[in-house]
Structures are given as structure tokens and as C-alpha cells.
Amino acid sequence: MLSATLLAACSANDGRQAIPTDKAVEAQVEQVLKGMTLEEKAGQLVQLNISVLEDDTREAIDPAKLDKIIGQYKVGSILNVMHDAAHSREQTAAMVRQIQEKSMEAIGIPCIYGLDMIHGATYLTDGSFYPQEVNLAATFNREYPRLMGRAMAYETRAAQVPWVFSPVMDLGRDPRWPRIWESFGEDPYLQAEMAREETLAIQGSDPNHIGLENAAVSIKHFMGYGVPVSGKDRTPAIIAENDLREKFFAPFLECFRAGALTAMVNSASINGIPTHANAILLSGWVKEQLGWDGMLVTDWADIDNLFQRDHVAADKHEAVAMGINAGIDMIMDPYDPECCNVIVDLVKDGRISQARLDDAVRRVLRLKVRLGLFENPLWDKEYPEFASEQFGRESYAAAVESEVLLKNEDNILPLKGTERILVTGPNANSLRALNGGWSYRWQGAADEFAPQYNTILEALEARFPGKVRFEPGVSYLPGDDWQAEDASGLGKAVAAARGADVIVACVGENSYCETPGNMDDLNLSANQKALVKGLAATGKPIVLILNEGRPRLIGDIEPLAKAVVDVMLPSNYGGDALAALLAGDENFSGKLPFTYSKHINALHTYDYKVSEHRETMEGSYNYDAVMDVQWPFGFGLSYTSFAYSKLKVSQADFKAGDVLKVSVDVTNTGTRAGKEAVLLYSSDLVASLIPDVKRLRGFEKVSIEPGQTVTVNFELPASRLAFVGADGRWRLEKGDFRLSCGGQSAMLSCTETHIWDTPNI
């Protein structure tokens, strides 16, 4: 249980409502609600997987099943793709049309269809894909989540679907967890900024009236999902209460306040409480404290997990009552329409009150009204920008800005163009690996669906005609086991290296998603390490390309490479982007949005406590101490160089209500134009809880010509320097702070302690 102190500290309302109430919306909701039977209400609270409607071909809807699910059970929402794979915009629209027409005829209430559009319209075969969120975070450029969100919403609407299960904002603070690539890195501020931009781009600026080029978001997974103690997906997390409020809630809060209409709940548990049964978080923090009138949907079968997996409920009835009474509004069941009857039973025997039932139904109806589904259950509109070249250009530009140059000894990059290049490694010729999961299929299947895009190999062959030879050395085996490899070509690759001038070794991971992505060793696979070691023995210079969803440990092979680039999951244009970067046609500007760890027993985040560091044995709190990591958060090289000077802060003393104006000069001291992500950090030098060594408080991406100096300005509300104390309250404490940016630093003092009496600031 969350402690009584924390609960007490957080019971107040925030004083500002997350989504403004719209009288016309509310009137329409009431109008619909008052005509509904108990069975119809129960149906609105259930969401089923499309497989319950598929016929034997799995490519079409079975009319008898439609009669049963929509006609008889009156189910209010359907999700996912037929036959577990993406379909074209036309096929998807035709399928939704069939369901929607039935829903209007049988219930008179529109069905809401939802899809996992994760990095663009990633469940449409002809949709536009952008780099995964972890890549967008590496751009440190707010423009990219905006562009991706807009295209995602536009193309999803074009397929008659009004709801996306995006953006993902689980903090990627444990590299063992298989889903860190789905969100924007390890830092709460970066995550919150990028997720808010994506939310606004998907929904538009008026959450009460979502237009036909926008969609509803489902921000997920609320919350604390990304730090399971075991490192394995959907397993328990233990999170300090102050961290939960200060860090894990931060991106959700930002998105709720930006008008996010729905949120999906964390499948696992925090401090022993399955999140789906956590009334304090679901009803308390979100609905009461934020005055949020949106809709909470479960994740996949997570009500069943309350009794089948977590054993906090004895049976389905108890689990459904527990979830709905904790604050769940819609149950993603996903295969069992009988859930509707369970809800009916529970209302009849009083285990779910009429008031809670009506509140949940209102929230579902409000979403449908806000989306305009009653007026336009289907819409007749042209979408001329669907899969446009412009969306492709944006995806390419995002990929260029997201690939991170981590090492470039002797300026081996850019390549001169005269070298004989050996391209090798299991990731060299794989679109599946470039895209990762949630790409055409849940586990990723880009080679099957999108052969028109270039793999790394194809892009290098196009950029360096006649210069490229390919020997994979190690290959991924087709099939379900993404970790299965064939290393029988290793000898051939090493032999080919002898005839090359430079080796581009593309290693990393094959695609995966969720629980199947669990693994037991964060080290890069033994086969791939053996390949790199074998190649290095030839004495030929290695450019190591990391194409992976999480930072796999490479401490022993990194010294064997002259250059290292982490492309993460840059999607369909990622190969072209890499070829252009390696050739020097484009310049690198990505920076790591996570800490790249070096040792298995030292998996840290950049905002560690100095006492975690081995050099603090003398007892001094050394804010300049550096963890022994492979590469720190925020690290990334360029083909040019930047010098920072003149860090200025508008005032030396401050109080909680002040807004500090901070500026710093950044000069391009090299010979090429470049973009620089300017990162502003703070350190709290003395605090009542052990302070983090530093925290990111601002970032801006700027383009700078050679020889040019740009002044970068930040407006930093002093409240952003506050932390959540032991009593669960936000506090800014009197004392010294240090701001730092690009090696520059400035000291300043808070002159008065301030403790907020609202749960959020």
C-alpha cells in the first residue's frame, strides 16, 4: 500500500482541470446514457480483439460472429489487426465500416476501433513509418514527435480508425527491459516534452472536438511499467513513492494536462499492488487530483491477470469488480464477450455500484462524442497526403538526426568513397531489424511487407557503387525465436575482410516486442562478439553499427572498433540515413537518450546518487564524478565541433515563483555546418533527501554554420528545480544549486524553502 502520509499529501485536487468541460458534449453524453439498458452499458465497457469476429480465412468478418458480439453482447470497442498483421488502408477501412454499420444498426452507439500505431501508421501496409520513439528522443528535437504524431493521426483516420494506443511514455530506465525502445529514453523531462508534443499532434489542440485529421491518444502504460525488478516484461516493480510522483508520473501528468483523452494501464504491479487494482493511482492521482474526465482502458487481459497471474482476486467476478472499482472504465478482455455478463451480474448484486457503472459508461461515451463518432460513425473524406513523399522525407530527416556517432578515432568517418567496403553482420541486410517491433506485425516483419525500402547494405551499395562486398558472417534465423542465430558464415566474413579497406559491421538485435523480448544476458550475443573479434584480428579498421532496441553490452569489443554508430531502430529510411551519414553527405547530431552501460552489475541512469559511485568512498559528494559507463546519457559526436561559453543566469538568488532566464553561447568551431542538442542540467547541492547528481532541465536543438556563434536561451521556472520529499510533497529547498551546460556552470541560491500544498505542480 502507498503510505498514509503520501496518500494524505496527495488527496487534494490540483485546482486546474486536465480537460475543460464542454456543456454540449456533456448534454449529449447524458442524452445517450439515459436511454441505455444495463446490458448496453456493460457492453460499452468491454473491448475485444478483432479475432473474435474473423471468419475461417482470418481475412474477413464472419457475419454470424458480428451478430453475436455486437448484436447480442453489444460490445463497444474492438482492437487490433486481422490475422495478426497489417492491412492496407482500404482493407482496414472496409473492415471497420462493417463493424460500425452493425453497431449503429444494433445499438445506435458507434463502436470505437483502436490500433497500436506506435511509430507512425505502423499497422497499415501502405502507411508511413517514422523512427521508433527512442530514436526521436535521440534527436532532442521536439519537431519530430510533432511530425510523427500528425502523420500517424492523419493516416489512421484515413483508414476509418479514430484511436491510437500511443504515445508510449514508460521511462526506459532499465536496459534489460524489452520495451525501452518504445518510449523516449530514461529522463522524465525529455520523456514528458516529447510525449506532450506527440499527444498534441495526434489529438490537435481541442480535446473536446477531435477533427477528422486527428485521433484520440491512449497514453501508456500508466505507470511505472518500465522498471521491473527482474528486468523481464510484465513483472513486479518496486518504486520509491517520491520517485513515482517526481519521475514516473511526470510524462503522464504533462499529457493529461495537454488533453490526453485515454490512458492504458501498466500490466504489471508496483510495490505489490497490480496497477489495474490500484485505486490510489487510477482514481486518486488521475481522476480526482487532476479532475480528468477521460477514459482508462486496461492492457491486454489484465483483469484476468488479477486472478490468474497475481492472485489478488479469486475469480473473474472478483477481478472485474476490483478493476472497475479501482477506476478502470474499459476492459480489454480480449477474447471473452462473457465479460459483459460478468459486469451485468456485478451491478445486479451491488458489487459495482450504479454510480460507478454510469461514471465509466459516461467516460466511454464522452470519448466517442469528443471524437464526433455519433455524427460521423464513418467519414467520407479525402486524405491526399496519405503516404506522401513529404511524410517520407520527414521520416528520413528524423532518422538522420537520431543516429548517434559514439566514436570516431582518427576521423575514419566520413568514408572517403574510395575504400573497398566489407559489409557484414546479421543486421546489415534486415529491414525487420531496422524497424523493430510494432512494424506490420506485433513482433516486426518489415522485410516481408516493405521490400521497397533499403536495408543498410542496399543503401551502402547505392551510395558506394562497386565498392561494397557483403558477407553476413552471422545471420538471424527466420521464425519466432528472435535470438536464434546461424554463425556458420563467420569464417567467410573474416576471409572477406582481408580484401577490404574498411569493415562496416552491423550488429545488434533482431526485432521483438513485449514478453517475447525477454532475455537472460544483456551482452551482445556471443556469435556477434566472435564475429567482431575475428574481423578485428585481420587488422582492418572496423566501423561498428549498433542496430538494437536496447543498449546491449559491448565493453570487450568496443576497443576493437575505430568508429561506433548506434542507429537504434531508425525504421524504413534508417539505412539511407546511415549511408548518407557514413558518406558525410549528412552530419551526425543525435545524442543518447539513455545511459549506455558498460558492466552488467552497473546498470545506472545519469541521474544517480553520487553515493552509488565507487569514487565516493572518501565521503565527499562529488558532483563531477563520472560513472564508469560505455557512453553517458546525452553523448553524441558530430563531424564538426562545438565550443560553449558565457553561461549566464538572470539572477543569482531566486524563489519558487521565479522564472530564471538562462543563456549560453555555442560556437561551431569546425569546418562543417552542424546541429547541436544543447542540454541544460541542474544539481541541487544540499537537500533533505539525497539529491540526484544532476537532472536535465532544458534542451534545444540548434543549427550552426562553421565559425558562427548562436546564443541559446532557456526559460527555467524555478519550480522545475523542486523535488518530491519524504512526505510526498513537492518542495524547493533553500540552498545552493548549480546549473551546467556543455562544460559551463553557474551557481545560484534559492533563498526560501517552498512546499506546495497541491499534489502536482
- Minimum Å gap between C-beta 49 and ligand BGC is 8
- Minimum Å gap between C-beta 442 and ligand BGC is 7
Of 571, 567, 590, 485, the closest CA to residue 529 belongs to 485
Paired strand residues for 273? 270
**Cα–Cα distance measured from residue 163 to residue 294, given in angstroms and rounded to the nearest whole number:** 13
- Minimum Å gap between C-beta 168 and ligand BGC is 7
Q: Is the peptide bond before 516 cis (omega within 30 degrees of 0)?
A: no
Cell digits of residue 132: 521508433
The residue from 14, 293, 299, 684 that is catalytic is 299
Of 297, 298, 316, 296, the closest CA to residue 306 belongs to 316
- Minimum Å gap between C-beta 307 and ligand BGC is 18
Site for ligand BGC in 601-620 (CB under 6 A): none
The residue among 264 and 281 lying less far from ligand BGC, judged by its C-beta, is 264
| 299 has catalytic annotation | yes
**Cα–Cα distance measured from residue 129 to residue 573, given in angstroms and rounded to the nearest whole number:** 9
Q: Per-residue x/- marks for ligand BGC, 209-248, CB under 6 A?
A: -----------x----------------------------
The residue among 116 and 684 lying less far from ligand BGC, judged by its C-beta, is 116
The residue among 130 and 163 lying less far from ligand BGC, judged by its C-beta, is 163
Q: Per-residue x/- marks for ligand BGC, 510-529, CB under 6 A?
A: ----x---------------
Longest dimension (CA), the chain: 79
The residue among 79 and 326 lying less far from ligand BGC, judged by its C-beta, is 79
The residue among 49 and 683 lying less far from ligand BGC, judged by its C-beta, is 49
Site for ligand BGC in 157-176 (CB under 6 A): 165
Q: How far is CA 234 from the centre of its chain?
A: 16
With 0-12 CB in 10 A as exposed, 13-18 as middle and 19+ as buried, what is 351? middle
The residue among 185 and 334 lying less far from ligand BGC, judged by its C-beta, is 334
Report CA torsion sign: 431, 406, 230, 251: negative
Write the DSSP string, 494-520.
Answer: HHHHTT-SEEEEEEE-----SGGG--S
Cell digits of residue 31: 442524452
Contacts with 734 (C-beta within 8 Å, 6 or more apart), sequence order: 749, 750, 751, 752, 753
- Minimum Å gap between C-beta 726 and ligand BGC is 33
Site for ligand BGC in 261-290 (CB under 6 A): 264, 267
Number of other CB atoms surrounding residue 349 within 10 Å: 10
For ligand BGC (CB under 6 A), the number of binding residues is 10
- Minimum Å gap between C-beta 513 and ligand BGC is 8
The residue among 218 and 283 lying less far from ligand BGC, judged by its C-beta, is 218
The residue among 223 and 532 lying less far from ligand BGC, judged by its C-beta, is 223
- Minimum Å gap between C-beta 222 and ligand BGC is 11
Of 83, 73, 78, the closest CA to residue 40 belongs to 73
Q: How far is CA 318 from the centre of its chain?
A: 32
Of the candidates 14, 40, 116, 241, which one interacts with ligand BGC according to CB under 6 A? 116
**Cα–Cα distance measured from residue 117 to residue 201, given in angstroms and rounded to the nearest whole number:** 14
- Strand locations in 368-518, DSSP E? 404-408, 421-424, 468-471, 475-476, 485-486, 502-508
- Minimum Å gap between C-beta 264 and ligand BGC is 6
Cell digits of residue 316: 473473474
Of the candidates 299, 336, 471, 700, which one interacts with ligand BGC according to CB under 6 A? 299
Q: Per-residue x/- marks for ligand BGC, 70-89, CB under 6 A?
A: ---------xx---------
The residue among 138 and 264 lying less far from ligand BGC, judged by its C-beta, is 264
Q: Interior CA angle at 124 toward 119 and 129, to 5°?
A: 30
Q: Is the peptide bond before 276 cis (omega within 30 degrees of 0)?
A: no
3-state secondary structure 89-143: HHHHHHHHHHHHHHHHHHCCCCCEEEECCCCECCCECCCCECCCHHHHHHHCCCH
- Minimum Å gap between C-beta 99 and ligand BGC is 17
The residue among 165 and 730 lying less far from ligand BGC, judged by its C-beta, is 165
Site for ligand BGC in 534-553 (CB under 6 A): none
Question: Virtual CA dihedral for 341, 345, 347, 349, nearest 10 degrees?
Answer: 180
Structural Rg of the chain based on CA atoms: 26
**Cα–Cα distance measured from residue 648 to residue 744, given in angstroms and rounded to the nearest whole number:** 9
- Minimum Å gap between C-beta 236 and ligand BGC is 16
- Minimum Å gap between C-beta 388 and ligand BGC is 27
The residue among 438 and 470 lying less far from ligand BGC, judged by its C-beta, is 438
Q: Per-residue x/- marks for ligand BGC, 172-211, CB under 6 A?
A: ----------------------------------------
Helix, coil or strand: residue 695: strand
Of the candidates 51, 83, 239, 300, which one interacts with ligand BGC according to CB under 6 A? 300
The residue among 234 and 316 lying less far from ligand BGC, judged by its C-beta, is 234
Please report whether residue 252 would count as binding ligand BGC according to CB under 6 A: no
**Cα–Cα distance measured from residue 458 to residue 431, given in angstroms and rounded to the nearest whole number:** 10
- Minimum Å gap between C-beta 514 and ligand BGC is 6
Cell digits of residue 424: 557484414
Instruction: Please give the backbone phi and psi of residue 300, each rounded to the nearest 5 degrees, phi first.
Output: -55, 110
In the sheet where 709-717 sits, what is the strand order? 642-649, 659-668, 709-717
Which residues does the annotation mark as catalytic? Answer: 299
Binding site for ligand BGC (CB under 6 A): 79-80, 116, 165, 220, 264, 267, 299-300, 514
